Amino acid sequence: MAKRILVVEDNDLNRKLFCDVLKANGCEVEPIADGELALNAARAFAPDLVIMDIQLPNISGIDLIAAFKKDASLMDVPILAVTAYAGKGDEERIRDAGAESYLSKPVSINPFMAAVNALLDG
């Protein structure tokens, strides 16, 4: 059965790239451009993994990760944070919010899929 992955990314090109790569690897994907819709979309889609951009309009990805981890139906879903913000302390803040893994942009396909597979197999 195909793994279900929710992709929360406001940048159209990044969202399309992530979805295309995941589909090519046999995953079922649900793209979300607006972080404010992510929780409801996740509840409806029941993903095996969430790929979360950190810099989103209207809501911080860090706040969204924390909200996922407080939601009883979503708290066990692993989150891969993907962000252009890779400054000192950022990874620690993102992991403290509840993300299981972290990649900085620009993302290369092989490390991206390695991170995805590690979380799906974990």
Cβ atoms of 7 and 19 closer than 8 Å: yes
Full domain range(s) for residue 81: 30-108
Q: Please report whether residue 81 resides in a domain.
A: yes
What does the pLDDT average to over 10-32? 97
**Which ranges constitute the DSSP H helices of 25-107?**
38-45, 61-70, 90-97
Kindly report the pTM of this predicted structure: 0.96
With cut-offs at 50, 70 and 90, classify the pLDDT of residue 64. very high
Residue 35, pLDDT above cutoff 90? yes
Specify the CATH number for the domain of residue 81.
3.40.50.2300
- State how many domains the chain has: 1
Establish if 99 belongs to a structural domain.
Answer: yes
Is residue 45 in a domain? yes
Residue 35 lies in a domain: yes
Burial of 106 from C-beta contacts in 10 A (0-12 / 13-18 / 19+): exposed
pLDDT digits (tens, 9 = 90+) for 39-58: 999 999 999 999 999 999 88
Name the amino acid, one letter, at 5: I
**pLDDT, mean over the chain:** 95
The answer, yes or no, to whether residue 86 has pLDDT greater than 80, is no
Is residue 122 very low, low, confident or very high in pLDDT (cuts 50, 70, 90)?
confident
The answer to whether position 119 is within a domain reads no
Q: Is residue 68 part of a domain?
A: yes
Q: Is the dihedral of CA 67, 79, 7, 83 positive or negative?
A: positive
Q: What phi and psi, each to the nearest 5 degrees, are found at residue 90? A: -65, -45
